[in-house]
Amino acid sequence: MMRVMITESVAEMDRAAARIIEERIRGCPGVVLGLPTGRTPSGMYREVARLHAGEGLDFSNVTTFNVDELCGLPPGDPRSFSQFMRRHLFDHVNIPAGNIHVPDGSAGNLVEACRSYEEAIEKAGGIDLLVLGIGLNGHIGFNEPGTELGSVTHVVRLSETTRERLSGFTTLDAAPDRGITMGIKTIMRARMILLLACGRVKARILRQALCGPVTPDCPASILQIHPVLTVIADRNAWSECAASPGDPCLGESDRAALS
Ligand code: PGA
């Protein structure tokens, strides 16, 4: 079932998303989270860190698995997703280092790194709550258009669109051309998914993902058939999804959210 929350601002989206993470941790201190990087979740992480500092949100039993990582960067490279996560979240909460998992993009044997990542997720009992952003081309994680819906953690060649969006690289030539990502099947196995989108730049692809056909051409469209999907979008990202509660692409819950 899809539940939609539309927010007036990005800050409100950040707070709403952080509150969902908080609820899951308070309800189950040993929760397993799946986490994204990117511009979209940055404010959510700031809010989560604030909940830790100001409201005692305890990460000591939380386990995390990041959705993706760039390949070929030396460990500790500030542009890696693992360093992004340290800066935005892990350095600000009391999560034990051993509970943090990010795919190893610098592994000598990337295929083996993918296999062991998938195994680690399984060993942790699967992901309880997986947070995702959506790429301009509909990717989720680094699952670019055309990715098999049955894929598990794998190495991908990044599209030009995705490489252009990666910040911190001086030129496109310098941006890594490969990444490791949870597969679509790995993502769909999560018990609950939280999809975040903000900004008018995401409006077209969000509509395609939520209201268009379920197709590998738009990997995020598969989320329509996840049993527990929550979408939090700001008004700008939502703008092409629904002009009014009567929009044909809306389900009952969306209409309720709009009314
Ligand atoms: P963004 O990336 O949050 O930086 O827009 C989203 C994504 O590619 O998943």
**Per-residue pLDDT for the chain (259 aa), expressed as one digit of tens each?**
899 999 999 999 999 999 999 999 999 999 999 999 999 999 999 999 999 999 999 999 999 999 999 999 988 999 999 999 999 999 999 999 999 999 999 999 999 999 999 999 999 999 999 999 999 999 999 999 999 999 999 999 998 888 888 867 888 888 999 999 999 999 999 999 999 999 999 999 999 999 999 999 999 999 999 999 999 999 999 999 975 444 545 555 554 554 4
**Ligand 1 centroid to residue 111 C-alpha, Å:** 25
Q: Which of 47, 68, 128, 234 is catalytic?
A: 68
Q: Which two tokens stand for residue 166?
A: 């990666």
What's the chain's Rg over C-alpha atoms? Answer: 17
Q: Take atom 7 of ligand 1 and give the residue whose Cα is closest.
A: 135
Q: Is ligand 1 within 6 A of the CB of residue 181?
A: no
Pairing relationship of beta strands 68-70 and 178-181 according to DSSP bridges = antiparallel
The number of helix segments (H) and strand segments (E) in the chain equals 9, 10
From the CA of 33, how far away is ligand 1's center (Å)?
Answer: 18
- For every residue of 103-159, DSSP letters joined together read --TT-S-HHHHHHHHHHHHHHTT--SEEEE---TTS-BTTB-TT--TT--SEEEEPP
Q: Is the CB of 38 under 6 A from ligand 1?
A: yes
Catalytic residue status for 55: no
Q: What is the 108 CA–ligand 1 centroid distance (Å)?
A: 27
Instruction: Tokens for 83, please give them.
Output: 């360093």
Q: Is the CB of 138 under 6 A from ligand 1?
A: no
144 catalytically annotated: yes
Q: Which atom of ligand 1 is nearest to the CA of 41?
A: 3
Give 5's strand partners: 232
DSSP reduced 3-state for 181: strand
1 vs 140: CA distance, rounded Å: 19
Spacing, Cα 182 to ligand 1 middle (Å) = 15
